Amino acid sequence: MSALHTRLTAALGCRYPIVQTAMGWVSDANLVIATTRAGGFGFLAGATIAAEQLEGEIQKVIAATGGSNFGLNFHMFQDNAAQCVDLAVQYRLRAVSYGRGPDKHTIQRFKDAGVLCIPTVGALKHALKAVELGADMITIQGGEGGGHTGGVPTTILLPQVLAAVEVPVIAAGGYSTGRGLAAALAAGAEGIAMGTRFMMSSDSPTPKATLQRYLATRDTQQIRVTLAVDGMRHRMVENPFINKLEAAGPVGRLWIALNSARKWKAQTGMTTGHMIRTFFKAIKDDPGAMSQVIMAANQPVLLQRSMVEGFPDEGILPSGQVAAAIDQLQSCEQIIHEIADEAEACLLRLCQRMQQSQQSPAEQAADQHERTQA
C-alpha cells in the first residue's frame, strides 16, 4: 500500500488519502466516525451544527474513534466562528477547513496548537493567497463539485495549483472512484476529497426520499450551475423549486424569496406583515438584488428542507456532477476500501508499464512467455 501513503496520510494520520468533506446538514458525528473507522479523514460541518451541540458532536467522535484525528469546517462569517476556533484548539483537532478563511493571527493560533489549516479554493489566485496566509495544505475544488463552486474544471485547476505551490494539494470535484484517486496521485496530488460520494452513502443522515432523488438523477445535465439562488455559482440537482426561481423575473424572484422566508418564519423571523412591507420597499429599490439577499439568508432553511426534513422538491439539492454516476448507497467502509483497492491496482499497472518500457525486446518476450505459462 506504499503508493497510497502520501504526505496527506502522514500529516492527517489516516490510512488512505481520502477525505470526506464538510457538507451542511450531512457531515455529522456519525458520518465522520464511519469515515474515520474506514481509514479516511472526515470533517464535521461546523457551519450547520447548532452552537450548543457542536462540542457534543466533537466529543462523540473522539469517544467513538479514540482520538481527535478528524477535522472541523467553519466559516469566519458564521455567528459562532470564535467558538469553532476555540473548540478546534481546545481539543487539538487534527485539522480545520474553511473557504473565506481566518486571518494570519488566527491561523498562527491553530499552528501553535498543532491544528493543520486546509482551506478549500476554486481558483489559482485563491490558492496563492491561502499559502501566503499560512495554509498547511490546500484542497482545490474544480467546477464539477457541488454547492458553491468555481468555473475552472479540476483537470485545469489541479495542474495550475500543483505547479505554483509547495504545500500538499488535495484534489476535489468529480471524484468517486479508485481510477480518479490514481489519476490525482499520478498528477502530483496527495489525495482526493469527496462530498457527494459520502453524502450518497448508507452512513449519511440524508433522508431516504432525498437520497432516492439523487440516485434517480442519471444525467449530468440535470446537475447544473444556477445563479438564481444568491447570484453566485451554485451547482445542484435540478428540481421544481429551482426551475420556478429561474423562470421568474426580478419581481417574481423577490416574491418567491419572501414567501419562502414567511413559510419558515420560526427560523427566519419573516412575518406576513414584514414580508409585504419588504416587498414594496424592494420594488422601489432593486427587486433583483433584494431577492438574492433574502434567498441567501434563506439558504440554510432551504437546505434543511431537503437534506433534513426530506422534501427534495421544496428545498435545494447541492450536488457534484459525479452523482449521476452513482447508482447505489454503500457504507463508508465499502466506498473507501473499493476506491483504495482500485487505485492501488491502477498504480500497479502503471508501474508495470513503466518497467516493461525499459526492458529489451528479448526481456519483454520472456516476461510474456512467463505470464502465458502461468
CATH number at residue 110: 3.20.20.70
Check whether residue 297 and residue 150 sit in a common domain.
no
In a domain, 165, yes or no: yes
Same domain, 10 and 38: yes
Number of domains in the chain: 2
Give domain status of residue 188, yes or no.
yes
Query: Of 35-44, 331-340, 353-362, where does mean pLDDT reach its minimum?
Result: 353-362
* 208-262: pLDDT as tens digits: 999 999 999 999 999 999 998 888 999 999 999 999 999 998 888 888 888 887 8
Domain end residue (candidates: 282, 303, 322): 322
In a domain, 346, yes or no: yes
Same domain, residue pair 234 and 187: no
Residue 228 and residue 276 in one domain: yes
Helix axes 104-112 and 81-90, enclosed angle (nearest 10): 20
Q: Dihedral, CA atoms, 356, 357, 359, 365, nearest 10 degrees?
A: 60
Q: Give the pLDDT confidence score for residue 17 in this predicted structure.
A: 98
Q: Are residues 335 and 313 in the same domain?
A: no
Instruction: Give the count of beta carbons closer than 10 Å to the beta carbon of residue 232.
Output: 12
Looking at the structure, do residues 9 and 77 belong to the same domain, yes or no? yes
Query: If you write DSSP's letter for every residue of 184-248 in order, what string do you get?
Result: HHHHT-SEEEESHHHHTBTT--S-HHHHHHHHT---GGGEEEE-TTTSS-EEEE--HHHHHHHHS
Mean pLDDT of the chain: 92
The answer to whether residues 157 and 257 belong to one domain is: no
Q: What's the pLDDT tens digit per position in 298-349?
A: 888 889 999 999 999 999 999 999 999 999 999 999 999 999 999 999 999 9
Amino acid occupying residue 271: T
| Cα four-point dihedral sign 64, 333, 321, 21 | positive
Q: Tell me how far apart the alpha carbons of residues 313 and 229 are, in angstroms, rounded to a whole number.
A: 15
Note whether 185 and 267 are same-domain residues. no
Overall residue count recorded for the chain in this entry: 374
The reply to whether 20 and 38 lie within a common domain is yes
| Beta-sheet strand order (sheet of 71-73) | 116-117, 95-97, 71-73, 41-45, 18-20, 191-194, 169-172, 138-141, 120-121
Question: Same domain, yes or no, for 9 and 86?
Answer: yes
Does the structure show a pLDDT above 60 at 1? no
Domain for residue 363, yes or no?
no
Is position 219 within any domain? no
* pLDDT value of position 78: 87
**Host domain of residue 31:** 2-206+331-350
- What is d(CA 48, CA 117) in angstroms, rounded to the nearest whole number? 20
Q: Are residues 74 and 198 in the same domain?
A: yes
The answer to whether residue 372 is domain-embedded is no
Look at residue 263 and tell me if it is in a domain. Answer: yes
Structure letter (DSSP) for residue 323:
G
Neighbours of 300 (CB within 10 A): 16
Residue 213 included in any domain: no
Assigned C-alpha cell, 6:
502520501
240 lies in the same domain as 126: no
Cβ-Cβ contacts under 8 Å for 269 (sequence gap 6 or more): none
Q: Please write the tens of the pLDDT for every residue from 82-136.
A: 999 999 999 999 999 998 789 999 999 999 999 999 999 999 999 999 999 999 9
